[in-house]
C-alpha cells in the first residue's frame, strides 16, 4: 500500500532507511527496530495485504514509516519506490537489500523457471534497486548499503547449490560495489546469517535437512533478533568506521 504523496519532508534531521522485503521475517524485525531508534523507514513488498497489515500494526510510527507495494524484480517499481521515499523523507541514507527467498532442489530436479525467479529476486532485484538509490547517495556524498547474504554465500552445501549460487553472487557484487563506491564515501556491508528461525525455512525444508545433514536432529537456529541487532550495529556505526562483513552463526 503506497502512502499518499506529501509535500513536506518528515523529520529532515533523522536518517532514512529503505528496506526491501520488510513486511515479514527478518525485514519486519529490522523495520521495527530502526523505527524505535528514530530512523525514517521506507519499506516494500509485492504482497499488498502484508503491506496493509504492517501499516496498521506499526500505526504508532506512521509519521516515520512509508509502506509501498512493489516487486523488487520490476525496475519501474524500484524507481517508483525510491522516488516516493525521497519525496517523503528528502533523502536515503541507508539501503538494506533484504528481499530474498530460498529454493532447494536436487541438481537433477531443478526447475529452470523457479531457479531463474530466485536469481531475479536474490540478485537482479538487489542490483536494480541499488542502481536507483545510488544517484541520490552520490549527490549526498554519503551512504550505506547493507546486502543480506548468508553463510550460503561463503560455504557450499549439498542440496543448496542453487541458493548458494545466488548468495555467492550477492557477495561478489558487494565486494566489487564496495571498491567502486569508496570514492563517493558510500559504504557497503554484507550480513551473512546461519539458519534463522523465521518462515523462510518451511517445515519441509527443515525435515529435508534433518534427514540429509543432521542425523534426524533439529538444528540450532538463530533468532531473528540476533540479526536485527547486527543490522542496528551497522546502521549506527561511526563515520570513521567501515563494517564490511558480519557472519552470525548459531552457537
| pLDDT 10s digits, 46-63 | 999 999 999 999 999 999
Rounded-to-integer distance, Cα 20 and Cα 244, Å: 20
> Which H, E and C letters describe the chain, residue by residue?
CCCCCCCCCCCCCCCEEEEECCCCHHHHHHHHHHHHCCCEEEEEECCHHHHHHHHHHCHHHHHHEEEEECCCCCHHHHHHHHHHHHHHHCCCCEEEECCCCCCCCCCCCCCHHHHHHHHHHHHHHHHHHHHHHHHHHHHHCCEEEEEECCHHHCCCCCCCHHHHHHHHHHHHHHHHHHHHHHHHCEEEEEEEECCECCCCCCHHHHHHHHHHCCCCCCCCCECHHHHHHHHHHHHCCCCCCCCCEEEECCC
Q: How confident is the model at residue 218 (pLDDT cuts 50, 70, 90)?
A: confident
Q: Taking the domains of the chain in order of start, what are their residue ranges?
A: 16-248
Residue 25 dihedral angles phi and psi, to the nearest 5°: 55, -140
Q: How confident is the model at residue 4 (pLDDT cuts 50, 70, 90)?
A: very low
Q: How confident is the model at residue 13 (pLDDT cuts 50, 70, 90)?
A: low
Q: State the pLDDT at residue 3.
A: 41
Average pLDDT of the chain is 92
pLDDT, mean of residues 92-107: 96
Q: Which CATH superfamily is domain 16-248 in?
A: NAD(P)-binding Rossmann-like Domain (3.40.50.720)
Residue whose cell numbers read 551473512? 192
pLDDT, mean of residues 117-141: 98
105 by Cβ neighbours in 10 Å (0-12 / 13-18 / 19+) ranks as middle
103 classed as catalytic:
no
Query: How do residues 166-204 score in pLDDT, each as one tens digit?
Result: 999 999 999 999 999 999 999 999 999 998 988 777 788
Q: State the pLDDT at residue 5.
A: 39
Q: State the pLDDT at residue 250.
A: 93
Higher pLDDT, 143 or 208: 143
Q: How many CB atoms lie within 10 A of CB 184?
A: 15
pLDDT, mean of residues 64-84: 98
Q: How confident is the model at residue 25 (pLDDT cuts 50, 70, 90)?
A: very high
Residues near 174 by Cβ (< 8 Å), separated by ≥ 6?
145, 147, 149, 188, 189, 190
Rounded-to-integer distance, Cα 16 and Cα 12, Å: 9
Q: The C-alpha cell of 114 is what?
A: 523457479
Q: State the pLDDT at residue 203.
A: 81
Amino acid at each position: 500500500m503506497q502512502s499518499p504523496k506529501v509535500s513536506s519532508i518528515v523529520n529532515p534531521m533523522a536518517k532514512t532507511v529503505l528496506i526491501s522485503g520488510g513486511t515479514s521475517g527478518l525485514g519486519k524485525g529490522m523495520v521495527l527496530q530502526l523505527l524505535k531508534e528514530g530512523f525514517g523507514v521506507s519499506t516494500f513488498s509485492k504482497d499488498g495485504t502484508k503491506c496493509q497489515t504492517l501499516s496498521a500494526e506499526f500505526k504508532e510510527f506512521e509519521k516515520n514509516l512509508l509502506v509501498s507495494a512493489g516487486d523488487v524484480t520490476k525496475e519501474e517499481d524500484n524507481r517508483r519506490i525510491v522516488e516516493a521515499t525521497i519525496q517523503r523523507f528528502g533523502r536515503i541514507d541507508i539501503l538494506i537489500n533484504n528481499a530474498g527467498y530460498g529454493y532447494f532442489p536436487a541438481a537433477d530436479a531443478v526447475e529452470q523457471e523457479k531457479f531463474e525467479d530466485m536469481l531475479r529476486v536474490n540478485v537482479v532485484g538487489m542490483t536494480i534497486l541499488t542502481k536507483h538509490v545510488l544517484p541520490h547517495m552520490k549527490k549526498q556524498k554519503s551512504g550505506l548499503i547493507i546486502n543480506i547474504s548468508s553463510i550460503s554465500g561463503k560455504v557450499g552445501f549439498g542440496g543448496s547449490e542453487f541458493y548458494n549460487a545466488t548468495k555467492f553472487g550477492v557477495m561478489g557484487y558487494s565486494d566489487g560495489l564496495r571498491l567502486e563506491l569508496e570514492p563517493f564515501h558510500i559504504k557497503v556491508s554484507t550480513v551473512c546469517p546461519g539458519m534463522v528461525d523465521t518462515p523462510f525455512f518451511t517445515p519441509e525444508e527443515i525435515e529435508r535437512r534433518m534427514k540429509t545433514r543432521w542425523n534426524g536432529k533439529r538444528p540450532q537456529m538463530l533468532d531473528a533478533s540476533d540479526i536485527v541487532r547486527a543490522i542496528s550495529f551497522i546502521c549506527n556505526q561511526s563515520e570513521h568506521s567501515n563494517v564490511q562483513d558480519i557472519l552470525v552463526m548459531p552457537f
